[in-house]
Structure formats: structure tokens, C-alpha cells
Structure 1
């Protein structure tokens, strides 16, 4: 556990009003009494201290007249030490070991005149040493803190404290983080420092004179920002994306920017607006909203109280607005989106402890694993099988922003609320990602929170009381209409799965159920509607006490209703498609698979022709064992998919690539996976060519043989993905 709390940060440049931060110590005391009890603080009584510049940062507490740095007040040291002692007591109560408690402090604490006194006091109260971060290390850890807030990020980053602003760029993908070799460029334009600077520029001047001085200062800021941009060595890929998308994505951290984010959030939840999520990390504002400084300044003045914005932050809003206007003008191509981050030094310190293999994991998926049902992987495969592969012309495809980590998280938690009443299950599931069990999960975008919430709500048949319909519609508004449709379709598929397996465990003694899906262009009464077909194959058995076929027949209409226009989201533009569900017992579908394969292989990559010849010959063998049929179909799908993906990897990463070690390793890995896929198909063909008795003996003597081969193929696939990721990072 790491503490980098507000009290420990008292002397960082972000803490400029001692009385606001330690109001308990001076609450209800008159100015005269304050002057008597705390003489060293009396000069702070009427507002923020006039900070003095030291290099490119404003750090520490300085005397207003002499400019000399003054010591940390004794009573503040006492408050900090006692607060940390209480923190340790809390850790003991919840079972946190002492070696897992870390106190860290930034540069401001390290350079304080009586820093040693503060550290000794903390050690005496808690028996724990404070780790002082060097300036360079603080910057690195701060960057990791920002990266911890998002699964992936590419764009510019800016950290706004009270004394300074740091600007750089970042690329974070699959646990690997790149940033500028120049580090970050720092300017003394922090929220508190800039407030003081703008006041000084106007003192003793006429209105026109003050306006002229501020304009000159603004031009100097713009020049400095543009110079920093040119020296940051921003990768060409980021610049090209900005040119294509209409500006850079900008990730904003630090108290100054978070205050601005909360003001934007306040506007989006008032005056008839109903933004559904009140979590700052992952909150995104478009260019027009972010740069509408006049509206935000007015809101800061007019509102009686603003969620998570103190009076001190409110007083700094004009300075932050001034900064944002200068920054927006200075950045070539402009700012497309502003993404607000909660992560800082504390989160970065924790994130640094993790290996890249752990960093790359999706927080939403990891956070839901404790809720996963017994057959989570099999259930997840069923859900994924309800999504067709991209069409050959590329027109139809599952939305790329709808990541598979959301689907995995859905498979993990789709049983969590099943014990609730019908009156509350859908509503509770709908709120679970914003105020419920998943609300505190760090590193999740608001869009992913919305997707998962809508999937869960649909999984419980989507029944909502009138009051909650508005919240559901607000969640829908922050993702695309296409994503809204897929969320409710997959939620309905989840409902069907839970009808088949109410306990979340797939019993091998029950009939095997397989899902597959495809695009169609001849649905509807007139056979002229586009959509998808969900095909459900049910193992034919003599006895079926679970009545699987009847369960399917009774509930497939719920899935088909996803294709009804009345169930599409009517936002600015509705989106949806027809859905048909076909149920067939095993054996009746073999001819259909063979015919479809003959057609599809004509459009597939050349590598797929040989595997399909093997697959088709295998499928001529009479098959009646459901489990073995499931293994064959899984083998077929995985093999063809992986071989096709290999062709893409060759085209993107090996064509015209230099003959370096990375390229050779990737080529070798692709050859290995091609061999593995073909060998597995060959073994599957031999297995299904055997008599029923031999197949049964084979399954008894070598259980999991085919699935083990699939796992090996998946492992080699992962090796290729990692090598391609590294190749991508080097380009």
C-alpha cells in the first residue's frame, strides 16, 4: 500500500493554501488568535502566498518580503506525522503487512529547509522511513501513473500542478510504455503560479496597459509551447494520426487539470444534461467542450457548490483558462480530445512494481475474475461465437473499439446479480460499473463502463423502472449507436446462455451446445434485409433431462428481438440489423458446413485451401459423439483463423522488412505455427476416421489431447503477437 496523501504533499507546489488544507487546526479562530497561535502562518491568512520562481519550478514556502525559503511549520509536521500514524493503524486493521506500506515524497519535501525534521517525526510516529524521490524519478513515475489509467494510450500528455506544467508525449500499448527521450518540458505556468503572475501583470497599470502586458506574456507562452513541441521528437505515427483525425489526443493529469475536468463534468450533469458517470479518470471532452473557457469560467463563478472542486481550485479557473487557450493555439493540428487522468505518483509507484506481462492485462477483465463462473472459458467462447467474423468485403465487422476484454468481463460477471429480484436485477447491473462493484476499478474508460453496463442490463431481460430509463439512455449517449446495438444483442445472448446453464457450469453429462454465426443479406419477410444469423447446434441424445432443446426454443425469441427496430437505440442516429436464430440437432448441420466451406474457401487466403481439403474429407466421416464434434469444429475454426492471420502478419511486418533478428524470429514463429495448425488438423482427421470404439478408447487414454493441441497453437499464436507488437513499437 502506498500513501502519497494530501497531507504528505503539503509543501508540493500543488498545495498553496495551508489554511484550506488544515482547516481543522484553525477552524473558527479569529485572525488575531491565528496570529497569536501560529505566528509563522499569519501572513498566509488572506490568501495564497506570493510564490517565488526557482528555475523552471515553484517549490517550497517562501517569505513574501525577503523571498527567503522558510521552514515547514512545527504544527504542520505534527499533523502530518499523526495522520500517517492513523493510516498505519488502518492498514493493520485490514491486514496490510508493514513491508507493503510505503511513504513516498516528491522533490518539494526533499528540498524543504527542515526536511530531516519532518522525516524523523514520521519515522518516530510510524517506524516507517519515507522514500524521497529524485526529480528525474518523480517524472518517470508520474508518467507511469498516467499510463496506469488507460489500457492503451497514444498522444500528448500534460501535468498541471500549482507551480508548473510539464508537457511530453506517450505511447502505451500491451504493457510497454514509450515517451520522449528528451523527457518532459517544464514551464512555470502552474495554476497557482499563473494566478499570481496574471495578478502582478495588472497591478498599477491602466486597463489598456494591463491588457497589453497580458497579451505579450501570452505570446511568450505560445512561443515556449511551440518550441517544446518541436523539441519533443513526437513520433511520425502520432503526427499522422493527428492529421487524419483532426488533432491530437491529450492526456491531462495533475490537480489543476482535474479541477477543470470536474467543472466540465459538472456542466455535463446540470441544466438538463445527464452525463451518467462521475469518475474523473477516463472522462473525455471533445475540442469544443474542452476549449469553451468562457462557459467554464462562468460556471465556476455562478455555482454555489461544485462536486470535487474546492474554493481554491475555483479561484484558479481564470488562470487555467488562460493556459488552455495558449496551449490550444500553440499545438499544431490542435487538440481533438482531452482525456482526464486520476493517476499520479502514487499510482505510478504501484504500476512500476508490475511486470509488462501484468501491466498489459485489461483491468476490467482482471477485476471481474473473482466473480467468474466455473465454466467461464467455455461460456466466453459461446459469447464470442455469436459474433460473426468480418465479411470478405470488409463492410460488415464487429466494432473494433468493442474490445474482447469487455466480452471476457461480461462472461465473468453475468451471473453476479442473478439472485436479485426481477425488480432490481437489471437496475443494479446497469449501475454496477459506475457506482457498484466495478466502480472503483482503475484504468477503465467511460466507454467500456457503458458497454459492460448495457450488456449486463440486457442480460437480465432489460427490464427497468421509468426512473432508470433516463440513466440507461445517458449511458448509451457516450458510445456509438453501433456499440449500443451490439451491447444489447450480446446481453441477450448472455441471457440465453444462462437459461441453458443456470449455475454457470457446463456439465459434460448434458448435451453439447455449439454457437456459430454469419452475416446475411436476405433476412426478413421479403428476404432483403441485412443482419446476422446465430446458429445453435445441439447434440442429439436419447435422454435429455435438462430439456435443452425446449429451453432453446422457448428463449431464442429474446435474442431475435435484438433485430427489432423498436429495440434499437434512438440517439442522433439509430443503428441495428435483423437477427435470425436457427437451432439444429447435430448431424443435420454437417452438410450445411461442407457446402458453406466450399463457397467460403474461394475467397479465403491461399493457405486455407489445403487445410479445408483436409477438413472436408474429415467431415465425410459419420460423427455422433458431441464432444468430439465440438473439438473438430473448434480445431477447424482456430486453424483457418490462425493461418489467415499469419498471412496478414507476413504482409505487414515481413514484406520489405530489414533482415534483422526480430524479423527472423517472427518468420520462424510463423513457420512453427503453420506446422502446428496442419499437424493438429491431420491428427483430428485420423481421430475421426477411427471407429466409434477406438474413438472412445482414445478419449479415455488421452483425455484433452485435441484441446491440448489447441492450447499449444494458442501459445504459439501469442508468441507471434508479442513479436509483432515489438515490431510495431520499433517502427
Structure 2
């Protein structure tokens, strides 16, 4: 039972002991041309083979921007357990080896066309390759056709996170034979009660070990509750079913990444089984194969529920092994950077990150010039924060990073028609230019979407109005938005339907482009009409 492969003595296996040398960190100082920042990864998973090329150019490397993505629908798990004539258990047949090696050879050609350095191409495999008895035949064929070597991830690395905390977590991690495909096969072949008892026993043992290694986890269990982050195709399938049946219907955000449910709703497994059984139409985010695996997925979810007491909330993650490998390559300061701080603005503003980058790459004359042309968004965010009512719980949703994003992008697309901008702003975090950004939950996405849309007076058509209303339901009791004022008005209002609150701080105006298109900020701490005749001003509204 379980993955008993002796990975510690196999030189082709990446473990927590050798990962720093087998997967060296990314170093921007060693880059001589832009394509040196490109990294290509192949994830040979049990249910499919995924290919990607990502650009780690600073300062946006933390976003792991992907410039190419593909998938080969080859199940290595099914290949190892095929019932076709001539097949052998835990052996890849010749056809599977040929198909896999052909796909990798094609991807190698794609990498060459993008200019990816050969040393920046990595192929790694997980459980199916670890357990295959003829994996050398597979790796040899891949090497011959593509010139690429295949690394095997140990269970601890596959289940891990990052930095020293990751190492401690990895030591406590356990690889268990309960993936969606394997669990489906077990349920078909074995005694459900024995399988269930084995699963829950392993879960319980692992969770107790985690509580022993991380005392804060035990504190959360006994107090405010545990937040669980789930990744992997099976768990995302369960999340897609929850999203399909969400009380907010139709649900406004398509991506499962960042979807959050309460612990109570996460435990509605019986209801989800009934939906999977009765729903005849396509369920968004779930393939036919996932629908067939859903009872097995629910068994794992119920095992998790029975193991972890006091589940506060569950967040479904979109990342996988490829994102984890890329993240591990980044320096710690890049790993710790909040994603919202990294999106460039059309307006000429800068954050501390931009300032440091300028200091490293520009001469002193350019730096002095930038001081006059740019305004530090951290200062503007503090001013914006001072306008929020300190005694209202809704104020807490506007974190420093969210305010940084707002002041950086509030004047984007000034030359466009306002109603187009309202729709563009509404959809940008949901399905547009910044959709899929790592590290954001759906409530944060809704805050960005609604706030930036309100900056353009919520000037939406009927179709977009429905998206706006359902996005509002994600944060029903926390509605504070930026709102565009008349250019001649120099007031900051804090409004709460049906009344108007007093001004919480001295009024200020943030004008942007003047009519001669010179980019500048002018912040006025008074009630006098502004002298620079800006195109627009900003007001705060609470609704």
C-alpha cells in the first residue's frame, strides 16, 4: 500500500536533500539576453502530460507568467493498469512510450522556436513513473527522440511548498495511494470499508504529525478554525461541483483558482454526489472522466473532513507541480512579494519595488529624472487609506496591496469611452488581462473588479450588470468602492445607503493627465477648487 519506491538511493530522483543542486535557483544576474529568462517545464503526471514555457524576467517573476501552455491527454496511470491484451501491470507498453516520446520531441522543437536555453528545460515525473517497472525504457526513448532527461520527484518534493518552512513541511508529508484514478480503481476492486478505514487511518496519523511539528495548527483547531488549501485535479473537481451549485448562480468568476467555501458547505458531500448523479448537462470545469471519478474523490474529501476538526474554510488552488518548481527557483524576496504589487501601470507611478529596480539598472541622472516624473504609490495608498472610516468592518478588505493596485491603475485607459472602460474594468480580474493571477481568492478578485468598475461610474450594459450584481454577492456586507466625481467637485464623500457620512479626513484630489497630456500627480489637502484642471477626480463611496 502506498508508494514504496526506494527513491532515496536512485540518482534520477529529486529529493529534499538534493533539490537545491538538481533544480538550481534562478539568477537574473546571469542573464545576457531576454530569452535567457524563459523556463520550459514538462509535468508527466498520472492523468496527463502538461507543457509550459514561463518568463521569469524581473520584476514580475513572482507572477510566473506563462507564455505557452499545452497538454497531452495521455494517462500514465491507465497505461500502467491497462486491461488490453498483451499489457502487463506496472509496465508501459510500446505504444505509450512512442506517443509520450513523440510529444516531448515536439515540445522540444517548440522550446527551440521560443529561444529557450536547453539548460532551462526540465522534465519531471511523479507517481506513475516512480512505480513503473520499466521506466528506464520510457526515459531512454524520451532521451533518444528529444534529447531531454527526465527527473523523478520524490513524494516529499511533490507534496511540498517552498524555502525552509517547506523543508519542514516536506519531512512531515506523506505520499498516499489515494489519487482520483487510483482511488477509483480501488473502489471498483476492493472492499469499500477496508479502503475507507485505511485512508482515514493514514490521514489521521499524518495530521497528528503535522500538529506535532506545527503547534500553531493545533491552536487553530482549538480556536478560530483551520483554513485548508487544496490543489490537484481531484480536489479541483470537487471545487467545480461546489461552484456549480453555489448559492450565487450563475457564479461570476470562471476559474476554480481562489474559489473559497465555508467549512460547513465543504462538508455537503452527499448533496454533491446527488448532483453528479442527476445532472445530465456539462458541469463547467469537470470532464467526463472527472465525473466518473467523483465518488472516489468524495471518499477522499470525507476522509479529510473526518480527520481535520473545526474546518473554518477551504480554498481551492489552481497551481500544480510546474508552478511549484518555478516558485522554488525564485529568490526569497521574490517569493515574498505580493502579486498585486507587480502589475505595471499605464500611468507613470512606481512602488518601492520599481524604485529598487530603477536603482539597480539606471544611472543617477535617470534616477533623478524619475523622481520628478513618478510618484510613489505607497504614499498615495496611505492617503487613500486615511479616507476610509476606521470604525467600519468593511475597511479591512482594503489591504495595503489592494490600495496600491487601485492607485496604480485608476487612470488606465483614460482615452477610451467610459462605458467601455467600466466593462473592461469589471472583467479584467475575472476573465481579462489579470485573470488567473496567482495568490488571489475570489473575494479579492471581486473587490478589484467592483472597485475599478465603480471608478468608471458602473456604466454597464444589461449583460454586464448581471455579472456586477453577482460579484457584489461575494462580499454582500462590505461594499466600499472608488467612484468618479465631476471634475469641478473637490469633495471626498463616504456614502452609505441611504445616508451620507461626515468626511473622515481632509479632502484630497488626485488629478491625472492634464489637457496637454503631461503625466503628473497633484495632491491638494484643502477644499479649494483645483488649479490644474484635471480630466477627473476620485471620490470614495460606501454602499
| Same fold? TM cut 0.5 | yes
Larger RCO: 1 or 2 (CA < 8 Å, sep 6+): 2
Change (3 A) 1:385 1:561: closer
2:126–2:154 contact (8 Å) kept in structure 1: yes
2:377–2:408 contact (8 Å) kept in structure 1: no
Residue by residue over 1:95-141, the C-alpha shift from the partner in whole angstroms, topping out at 9 and shown as x without a partner, is 4333322222224324533323322322233223223333443333x
SS in 1 for 2:254: coil
| Counterpart check, 1:532 vs 2:504 | yes
Change (3 A) 1:437 1:12: closer
- Number of residue equivalences: 446
Which residue number in structure 2 is paired with residue 288 of structure 1? 264
After the TM superposition, which residues 701-720 of structure 1 pair with which residues of structure 2 at under 5 Å, given as runs? none
SS in 2 for 1:132: strand
Which residue number in structure 1 is paired with residue 348 of structure 2? 373
Which residue number in structure 2 is paired with residue 278 of structure 1? 254
Q: Please give the alpha-carbon distance, in whole angstroms, between the structure 2 residues aligned to 1:282 and 1:379.
A: 26
Q: Please give the alpha-carbon distance, in whole angstroms, between the structure 2 residues aligned to 1:442 and 1:561.
A: 28
Which residue number in structure 1 is paired with residue 179 of structure 2? 190
Deviation at 1:350, TM superposition (A): 0.4
1:433–1:439 contact (8 Å) kept in structure 2: yes
| Counterpart check, 1:268 vs 2:246 | yes
| Counterpart check, 1:306 vs 2:283 | yes
Which residue number in structure 2 is paired with residue 729 of structure 1? none
Deviation at 1:371, TM superposition (A): 4.0
Q: Please give the alpha-carbon distance, in whole angstroms, between the structure 2 residues aligned to 1:397 and 1:518.
A: 18
Q: Please give the alpha-carbon distance, in whole angstroms, between the structure 1 residues aligned to 2:535 and 2:222.
A: 46
Aligned with 1:226 (options 186, 198, 204): 204
Q: Please give the alpha-carbon distance, in whole angstroms, between the structure 2 residues aligned to 1:180 and 1:137.
A: 10
Residue by residue over 1:482-503, the C-alpha shift from the partner in whole angstroms, topping out at 9 and shown as x without a partner, is 3x21xx13x54xx78xx69xxx
Deviation at 1:195, TM superposition (A): 2.6
Deviation at 1:545, TM superposition (A): 13
Aligned with 2:429 (options 420, 428, 433): 433
2:258–2:439 contact (8 Å) kept in structure 1: yes
| Counterpart check, 1:236 vs 2:211 | no
Deviation at 1:431, TM superposition (A): 0.2
Change (3 A) 1:439 1:399: same
| Counterpart check, 1:9 vs 2:7 | no
Change (3 A) 1:103 1:192: closer
Change (3 A) 1:228 1:115: closer
SS in 1 for 2:92: coil
Which residue number in structure 1 is paired with residue 329 of structure 2? 353
Change (3 A) 1:93 1:66: closer
Deviation at 1:276, TM superposition (A): 1.2
SS in 1 for 2:184: helix
Deviation at 1:452, TM superposition (A): 1.5
SS in 1 for 2:508: strand
TM-score (norm 1): 0.53
Which residue number in structure 2 is paired with residue 415 of structure 1? 411
Which residue number in structure 1 is paired with residue 24 of structure 2? none
SS in 2 for 1:536: coil
Q: Please give the alpha-carbon distance, in whole angstroms, between the structure 2 residues aligned to 1:557 and 1:215.
A: 66
Which residue number in structure 1 is paired with residue 153 of structure 2? 133
1:388–1:518 contact (8 Å) kept in structure 2: no
| Counterpart check, 1:446 vs 2:436 | no
- In structure 2, runs of 5+ residues without a counterpart are 1-38, 51-71, 350-372, 511-515
| Counterpart check, 1:325 vs 2:325 | no
Which residue number in structure 1 is paired with residue 232 of structure 2? 254
1:433–1:449 contact (8 Å) kept in structure 2: yes
Which residue number in structure 2 is paired with residue 479 of structure 1? 475
After the TM superposition, which residues 316-715 of structure 1 pair with which residues of structure 2 at under 5 Å, given as runs? 316-333=293-310, 335-366=311-342, 368-369=343-344, 371-374=346-349, 377-378=375-376, 381-388=379-386, 395=391, 399-479=395-475, 481-482=477-478, 484-485=479-480, 488-489=481-482, 491-492=483-484, 529=501, 532-536=504-508, 550-551=529-530, 562=541, 568=543
TM-score (norm 2): 0.70
Aligned with 2:129 (options 109, 116, 120): 109
Q: Please give the alpha-carbon distance, in whole angstroms, between the structure 1 residues aligned to 2:86 and 2:206.
A: 33
2:172–2:206 contact (8 Å) kept in structure 1: no
1:380–1:408 contact (8 Å) kept in structure 2: yes
Deviation at 1:481, TM superposition (A): 2.6
1:376–1:411 contact (8 Å) kept in structure 2: no
1:417–1:429 contact (8 Å) kept in structure 2: no
1:390–1:397 contact (8 Å) kept in structure 2: no
Change (3 A) 1:195 1:135: closer
Deviation at 1:13, TM superposition (A): 12
Change (3 A) 1:92 1:461: farther
1:450–1:478 contact (8 Å) kept in structure 2: yes
Q: Please give the alpha-carbon distance, in whole angstroms, between the structure 2 residues aligned to 1:110 and 1:560.
A: 58
Residue by residue over 1:532-586, the C-alpha shift from the partner in whole angstroms, topping out at 9 and shown as x without a partner, is 2342389xxxxx99999655799999756726xxxx1xxxxxxxxxxxxxxxxxx
| Counterpart check, 1:21 vs 2:68 | no
Change (3 A) 1:309 1:532: same
Which residue number in structure 2 is paired with residue 585 of structure 1? none
Q: Please give the alpha-carbon distance, in whole angstroms, between the structure 2 residues aligned to 1:424 and 1:119.
A: 52
Q: Please give the alpha-carbon distance, in whole angstroms, between the structure 1 residues aligned to 2:221 and 2:387.
A: 30
Change (3 A) 1:533 1:223: same
Deviation at 1:385, TM superposition (A): 0.5
Change (3 A) 1:329 1:71: closer
Aligned with 1:94 (options 88, 110, 114): 114
Q: Please give the alpha-carbon distance, in whole angstroms, between the structure 2 residues aligned to 1:553 and 1:442.
A: 39
1:11–1:109 contact (8 Å) kept in structure 2: no
Residue by residue over 1:573-632, the C-alpha shift from the partner in whole angstroms, topping out at 9 and shown as x without a partner, is xxxxxxxxxxxxxxxxxxxxxxxxxxxxxxxxxxxxxxxxxxxxxxxxxxxxxxxxxxxx
Residue by residue over 1:261-281, the C-alpha shift from the partner in whole angstroms, topping out at 9 and shown as x without a partner, is 122222238xx7122111122
Q: Please give the alpha-carbon distance, in whole angstroms, between the structure 1 residues aligned to 2:454 and 2:334.
A: 31
Q: Please give the alpha-carbon distance, in whole angstroms, between the structure 2 residues aligned to 1:137 and 1:181.
A: 7
1:426–1:457 contact (8 Å) kept in structure 2: yes
Larger Rg: 1
- In structure 1, runs of 5+ residues without a counterpart are 15-19, 24-40, 50-59, 145-171, 203-213, 501-512, 539-543, 569-731
Q: Please give the alpha-carbon distance, in whole angstroms, between the structure 2 residues aligned to 1:64 and 1:545.
A: 70
Q: Please give the alpha-carbon distance, in whole angstroms, between the structure 1 residues aligned to 2:86 and 2:517.
A: 89
